[in-house]
Amino acid sequence: KQEVTQIPAALSVPEGENLVLNCSFTDSAIYNLQWFRQDPGKGLTSLLLIQSSQREQTSGRLNASLDKSSGRSTLYIAASQPGDSATYLCAVILDSNYQLIWGAGTKLIIKP
Partner 1 sequence: EAGVVQSPRYKIIEKKQPVAFWCNPISGHNTLYWYRQNLGQGPELLIRYENEEAVDDSQLPKDRFSAERLKGVDSTLKIQPAELGDSAVYLCASSLSLALGPSGANVLTFGAGSRLTVL
Task: Write out the residues near partner 1 by the rule CB under 8 A.
Answer: 4, 31-32, 34, 36, 41-46, 49, 51-53, 89, 91, 93, 97-100, 102-105
- Nearer Cβ to partner 1, position 15 or 107? 107
- Nearer Cβ to partner 1, position 104 or 109? 104
Nearest distance from residue 39's CB to partner 1, in Å?
A: 10
- Nearer Cβ to partner 1, position 16 or 55? 55
Q: Three-state SS string across the chain, please?
A: CCCEEEECCEEEEECCCCEEEEEEECCCCEEEEEEEEECCCCCEEEEEEEECCCCEEEECCEEEEEECCCCEEEEEECCCCHHHCEEEEEEEEECCCCCEEECCCEEEEEEC
